[in-house]
Amino acid sequence: MSFEYAPVTKAMMMGSALSSFFVGLFDVKHYFHLQLVPHISRHHQYWRLVTQYLAFQNSSDLFLAGLLLYNVGIHIERRFGSVKFASFVVVTILLSALSEFLALLALNPLGLNYIPTGVPVVVYSTLYQHSRLVPSAYQFRIFGVKLSNKSLNYLLAFQLAISSLPGSLAVAIIGVIVGQLYRSEIANFNTYRLPMSVVTFSRRFLLPLIGSLRGPRRLTRAFPDDSRAAGVQQAGLAALGNDEVITTSRRNDQAQANLTRSRNSDGGPGVSDGSPGAGSSVMREWVDELTGRTDRANSGIRVPTESEISQLTNMFPTVEREVVVGALQGRYATF
């Protein structure tokens, strides 16, 4: 999984990591700390209700929140779209700041005086959206307990919720409640969108800062080259004058024409034993033995019979023999 179509999630992870690093490097964590007493009640530093989301207090919370954002944030952003997901993050932070302030006032007699820093409340709200929108891919049992591929996310969220009791547990509960409020239609929070000026500014100046979002390129080779036999294989193919690579992608018209011309120049598959094509066939078998292609064929690749090849060739006279053999071996699903 990559950050393709998920720039907001990548920006949140990068921003949280960099800000936490520099806050610890310059020893200014006390500016991001939030306590009801004395920060709010005595010094009236209400700006801490917002700055607390800029950095994490320790590396363990940063690591757990980063894992959860990567596992669930990318899926939710791809479903919402980047603009709606960014609006969701803003609404979650504003509602959470108000909710945490009210929770500090109400639960301070019970011992709640401290709120952990960072964006775990956004993580829990996103995790709630993920639990409601994304179905589980598979299920399994451990000691009779039925689990799914989502269970690891819930385990990481539970570990984050008990990291700094009782404040971390309060943040987890507030995050889930805010996620429910956003999904419900009580106040239509899900209809809010960021202004177009903010979106345009972010696309022009902030998006280039987070780097490439393109997913990794997937190779189309049917079989990976053996490292020990790669040099021998390349030498043998160069001697044959054949630079064809077996891939799972279809050949284009130019490649088909080049392959036809090379076969015609070699004498084709139906030449006599004394022709150059027979020598190429012997050389190809020798290269296959050196590179292990023969073992691969014997280990799992089905070798079609001549009757099967002839039958499909008669049914589809315009299809080349190599394509027919590939279809019988399972390379192609359709012609």
For residue range 274-297, list pLDDT tens digits in order: 444 455 566 666 666 655 555 555
How many CB atoms within 10 Å of residue 143?
Answer: 4
Rounded Cα gap, residues 48 and 30, in angstroms: 10
Q: For the whole model, what pTM was predicted?
A: 0.66
Percent of the chain's residues with pLDDT above 90 = 38
Q: Which residue has the tokens 């009791």?
A: 165
Quote the pLDDT of residue 335: 41
Q: Where are the domains of the chain?
A: 7-210, 230-328
Q: Into which CATH architecture does domain 7-210 fall?
A: Up-down Bundle (1.20)
Query: Residue 135: pLDDT above 80?
Result: yes
C-alpha to C-alpha distances, 311 to 140, 271, 322, 329, 330, nearest whole angstrom: 45, 21, 14, 15, 16
163/266: higher pLDDT: 163
C-alpha to C-alpha distances, 12 to 18, 21, 53, 55, 136, nearest whole angstrom: 10, 14, 11, 11, 25
